[in-house]
Every structure is written in C-alpha cells, then in structure tokens.
Amino acid sequence: MSKIAIVTGSATGIGAATAIELSRRGWSIAINYSKSAESARKIHSQCKDSILVQADVGDDAECRRLVKAALDKWGRVDALVNNAGTTKFVKHQDLEGLSADDFLRIYRLNVVGPFQMVRACAAALKSAKGAVVNVSSVAAQLGTGSSIAYAASKSALNAMTVSLARVLGPEVRVNAVCPGYVDTPWQWNALGADKARQAAERYSAMVPLRDYARPEDVADAIAWLLEGARQVTGGTLFIDGGMHIAVPR
C-alpha cells in the first residue's frame, strides 16, 4: 500500500515539485490549492494517484475538510507538507509599508495555517507514525526576504516546528526546510522575469555554492525528511546554497 501525503499550496513552485517528486516515489497525494485551479489540475494530471482539494489553510474548518478528504479517499495520512504561504514585498527600510493587517494576513497563512493543518492531521499522523515538513525560509534566521513580516512569520514557524516536534513525538517527526532564493513563479510574478533573473544572479554571487535552488532541490530535501531521517526531528534544514553561512559583503 502506498503512503499518503497532503501537500498544501501544491499548485505551483515548491509545493508542485514536492507533489510530483513524492508521486514519482510511489506516494498518493492530496493536492491542495486555494486559487490556482488550472495549475493545480496540471499537477493532478502528473501524479499517479491523487485527489485535488481546494481549501484555504488559514481557515480551520477548511483544514479539517482537506484532511477528511484524504482520509475518506485512503483511510490514512502518513505525511503533511505545510507549503502554502504568502508575503508582501516591502523593502525592510520602509516601516510604513506594512500595516497590522499585513502582518495578520501573512501570519494567518504562514503560521496559523500550518498549526491548524498539524492539529487536523495529528491523530492520523500518530497512528501512521508519520512526519511533518514545514516549508520555512533562510529569512527566518537572517531577518531578510520579501518583508519584515515575512521573515518574522518564518521565524515563528521554525519555533513552532520545535514545539510540535516535542509534543508529537515519539510517533511523529516534525522538521522544517529553509530555502533561500528559489526559482519559482512567485518570484517571477512579484519581480517580473528580468528582475527575477537579476535577483537570482545576485544571490548566486553571494553564496558559497554560487547557485540558487530550483523547486526540485527543495522537493528532494522534503522527500528525504519524510522517507528517511529516522532520528531527525525539531530540525531546520537549509537549502540555500550556504546563504546562512555567507559572509556579508
């Protein structure tokens, strides 16, 4: 019997790459999206055994409905990948560029959403002796990224990862991946193709590995944390080309 994974925000980018990679490895996948229906259908068509569930993970009732859909289909949940998230692109120097509502909207998806998904899955994950991977960011450690609110939300997600690993053990392992710059539609839509390419080149020049991540790089790390890593919990795995150890220039 194949293992079952729920991947939130899996219509595009890291979430889509993760759904495809896990499906390639024999997993059955609950593909989740909130708005990108057409993109989600394309990922659905590339996964051998999958269901498509529209749900806003910021809403607790919809989180529970998403988990129920997986349980109704397969009767178990072996893994949860909390990938869905959001941001607002605001230069860190622009303190007036972020409102309280901006913070609440970002925290709703980046922190509250993952908590609600874990809570909805907890019993099933414990029964399956499963695993959770939260998709965080190197911004959590460096205080960088698209905005101060985004960096703060990912720091909160990392702290929550540790708390959940402690309380869900020994049955469930909980870890986070912290990508740096990743070549995704999120970057292209926010920056435009030319600026996204320039940002990738600047990033590559700063990091020890002199390259930036593709969604598949992050998906590989997530798959390892789900399938292997038997003694790893409460950890944060950087997939950032070494940005977290780069010497400022």
- Rounded to whole angstroms, the Cα distance separating 75 from 90 reads 43
Nearest to 55 by CA among 136, 109, 126: 109
Q: How far is CA 30 from CA 42, 157, 168, 222, in A?
A: 14, 22, 22, 16
Catalytic residue among 33, 107, 150, 212: 150
Annotation marks residue 107 as catalytic:
no
User: Residue 145: left (phi > 0), alpha (psi -120 to 50), or beta?
Assistant: left
Q: Which two tokens stand for residue 8?
A: 């939130």
Are the C-beta atoms of residues 6 and 66 closer than 8 Å to each other? Answer: yes
Query: Which residue has 């910021």 as its token pair?
Result: 58
Range 209-226 burial, b when 16+ CB lie within 10 A, else e: eeebbebebbbbbbbebb
Rg (CA), the chain: 17
Task: Indicate if the alpha-carbon torsion angle 218, 222, 223, 229 is positive or negative.
Answer: positive
Residues with Cβ < 8 Å from 15, sequence gap 6 or more? 7, 8, 9, 32, 81, 83, 84, 135
Query: Which residues does residue 95 pair with via DSSP β-bridges, in sequence order?
Result: none
Which residues are the active-site residues? Answer: 150
